[in-house]
Structure 1
Amino acid sequence: MIVGIGVDVVDLARFERAVDRTPALRERLFAPAERGLPLRSLAGRFAAKEALIKAIGDSTGVTWQDMEIVSDGHRNPSFLLHNAVKRIVAERGITTVHLSMSHDGGIAIAYVVAEHDEESG
């Protein structure tokens, strides 16, 4: 059963200007393993983190690094959740978080669906 859905869009040029103007954003917004990626990929990850917050419906105590995006062997993205986000997801009974990201034509977009097993309540 779907618990929440989130979507976010990031303007690539605006995101690049923000990172150029404030280089510390890389450290504040991204986990160490994410920081070396191209800006278009970072923009997609930022959109994904925003979309996750919308899907789970709470950001109490959350830091940006609590939501790390990783890829499997086929380059499919997923979240590695830490600290407050991990706690919120567990409290809400969320068992699966689906993530899709893309970038094209000057924008990055991410879509998140949070769900729980019918059997888990």
Structure 2
Amino acid sequence: MLKGLHHTAIICSDYARSKAFYAELLGLEIISEQYREARQSWKLDLALPDGSQLELFSFPGAPPRPSYPEAQGLRHLAFAVESVETVAHWLNEKGIATEQVRIDELTGKAFTFFRDPDGLPLELYECE
């Protein structure tokens, strides 16, 4: 049956800004990048260290996210990190605001949220 998460797709409003955020700032490796003329759309495949991928798309005229963060559909995307405090501090130094680090009452693990250039909620979740 299911073996794991292969990829998550994100439609961005400003392709160049989102590409810089995910590839340059967060350091995700670019696997491939194509411009699809028929759709007037860019598609960027990015690799995470665990083998999963992010796909970034640009579609002309795509509607904005209806609300933050409680719209139906994908609520947020969570990244596993060794130290939430360390990564949150690093993001803050790069000008990316993070919420206060909290502790998950069910697991005892630290977590926090930040946003991508389109306001998509992203989470840092502490994993050993």
TM-score by structure 2 length? 0.23
| TM-score, normalised with respect to structure 1 | 0.24
Q: Would you tell me which structure has more helix in proportion to its own residues?
A: 1
Greater relative CO (CA pairs within 8 A, separation 6+):
1
- Structure with the higher fraction of residues in strand conformation: 2
